[in-house]
């Protein structure tokens, strides 16, 4: 299956557009390509802000659980570890990034959206940390990033209910910073990036570094803890049932085993 992350520049804005049809499931290869493009823009003195977007109806519908089910438990956890290693590279960037969310940002997809500094949501955007619906523990440092953006109480609700948050609520909660129409998502994202990119580049990097003081340490600790909890839950019957129920489009029958 084709995995791509193309990059281009528009004035002082660097644009990354990724694709892994049909649902843009996260995998180490995809995240590595995104991180490589970010590294390139970090090294480009002309780029002051990055816009991240994707092809298709979904922004990113989660980790590739269908592919994961072909792995044994140890290999599957190694795959998750590889995903989080690439995620850390995305978090470690030096320049601000805006995510343009056209559709579902689910599981690892909301993790990727939260790795951006800001988010623009189109009418079809949906945000969900649906891990408990899979019998699983959240990953991608969502334990840190989601409360940081929406507050502890709303983060707890999203993590424990697996609720899907629509754009209006996302804006009210701070999960989205701006809304777009159906056809002007990239225009709104580029305009927002332009408001950042018109400013002094050295000052932008210095301010972002100050705002993120200690953040990577929190990300590292969260990823380590999340990965440990996922390793404990991966072999359970509830995880197998949760994944099966999603792909079979039915209610799960969890047993606590």
| Secondary structure (H, E, C), 116-160 | CCEEEECCCCEEECCHHHHCCCCCCCHHHHHHHHHCHHHHHHHHH
Beta-carbon contacts of residue 235 (< 8 Å; ≥ 6 apart): 73
Is 75 within 8 Å of 67 (Cβ atoms)?
no
Task: Please give the pLDDT value at position 6.
Answer: 85
Q: Is residue 54 part of a domain?
A: yes
- The residue among 122, 134, 129 whose CA lies nearest residue 168 is 122
> 204 lies in a domain?
no
Residue 127 lies in a domain: yes
Residue 8: inside a domain, yes or no? yes
Residue 66 confidence (pLDDT): 64
Is omega for the bond preceding 98 within 30 degrees of 0, making it cis?
A: no
CATH number at residue 80: 3.90.226.10
Tokens of 24: 């843009």
Angle at 80 between CA 217 and CA 38, to 5 degrees: 60
The answer to whether residue 97 sits within a structural domain is yes
> What was the pLDDT predicted at 70?
43
Q: What is the pLDDT of residue 67?
A: 57
The two counts, helices (H) then strands (E), for the chain are 11, 8
Dihedral sign from CA coordinates of 22, 175, 146, 243 = negative
235 in a structural domain: no
- In-domain check, residue 67: yes
- Domain boundaries, position 159: 4-183
pLDDT in tens, the chain (257 residues): 578 888 888 899 999 999 999 999 999 999 999 999 999 999 999 999 999 999 999 999 999 876 544 434 445 556 677 899 999 999 999 999 999 999 999 999 999 999 999 999 999 999 999 999 999 999 999 999 999 999 999 999 999 999 999 999 999 999 999 999 999 999 999 999 999 999 999 999 999 999 999 999 999 999 999 999 999 999 999 999 999 998 899 999 999 99
Domain count of the fold of the chain:
1
Quote the pLDDT of residue 78: 60
Q: How far apart are CA 200 and CA 246, in angstroms?
A: 47
In sequence order, what DSSP letters do the residues of 182-216 get, joined into one string?
Answer: SS-HHHHHHHHHHHHHTS-HHHHHHHHHHHTTTHH
Query: What is the pLDDT, as a whole number, of residue 123?
Result: 98
Q: Do the domain assignments include residue 37?
A: yes
Pairing of strands 4-10, 13-19: antiparallel
């Amino acid at each position: 299956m084709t995995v791509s992350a193309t990059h281009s520049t528009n004035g002082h804005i660097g644009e990354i557009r990724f694709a892994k049809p049909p649902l843009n499931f996260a995998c180490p290869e995809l995240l590595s390509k995104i991180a490589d493009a970010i590294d390139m823009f970090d090294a480009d003195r002309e780029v002051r802000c990055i816009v991240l977007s994707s092809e298709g109806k979904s922004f990113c519908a989660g980790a590739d659980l269908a592919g994961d089910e072909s792995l044994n438990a140890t290999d599957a956890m190694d795959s998750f570890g590889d995903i989080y290693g690439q995620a850390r590279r995305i978090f470690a960037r030096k320049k601000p990034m805006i995510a343009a969310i056209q559709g579902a940002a689910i599981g690892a997809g909301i993790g990727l959206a939260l790795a951006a500094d800001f988010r623009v949501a189109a009418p079809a955007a949906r945000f969900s940390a649906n891990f408990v619906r899979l019998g699983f523990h959240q990953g991608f440092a969502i334990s840190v990033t989601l409360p940081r953006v929406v507050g502890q109480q709303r983060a707890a609700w999203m993590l424990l209910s697996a609720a899907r948050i629509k754009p209006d609520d996302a804006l009210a909660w701070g999960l989205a910073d701006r809304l777009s129409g159906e056809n002007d998502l990239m225009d709104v994202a580029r305009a927002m990036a332009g408001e950042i990119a018109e400013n002094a580049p050295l000052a932008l990097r210095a301010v972002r570094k100050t705002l993120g003081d200690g953040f990577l340490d929190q990300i590292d600790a969260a990823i380590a803890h999340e990965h440990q909890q996922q390793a404990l839950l991966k072999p359970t019957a509830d995880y197998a049932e949760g994944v099966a129920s999603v792909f079979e489009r039915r209610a799960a029958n969890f047993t606590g085993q």
